[in-house]
Amino acid sequence: MTGIRLVLVDDDPLVRAGLALMLGGAEDVEIVGEAADGSEVEELVDRTRPDVVLMDIRMPGVDGLTATERLRAREEAPQVVVLTTFHADEQVLRALRAGAAGFVLKDTPPAEILSAVRRVAAGDPVLSPTVTRQLMEHAAGSTLDTRRSGARSRMSGLNEREREVAVEVGRGRSNAEIAAGLFMSVATVKTHVSRILAKLGLNNRVQIALLAYDAGLLEEDGH
| For the chain, percent of residues with pLDDT exceeding 90 | 44
- C-alpha distances (whole Å) from 174 to each of 20, 82, 120, 209 are 31, 22, 14, 12
Instruction: Name the average pLDDT for the chain.
Output: 86
Q: For residues 29-51, give the mean pLDDT.
A: 95
Q: Is the pLDDT of residue 192 over 60?
A: yes
> 119-130 burial by CB neighbour count: b if 16+ within 10 A, else e?
bbbeebbbbeee
pTM of the model: 0.74
The pLDDT assigned to 191 comes to: 95
The pLDDT tens digits of the residues spanning 100-150 come to 888 888 888 888 899 989 988 988 777 655 566 666 666 555 456 677 888
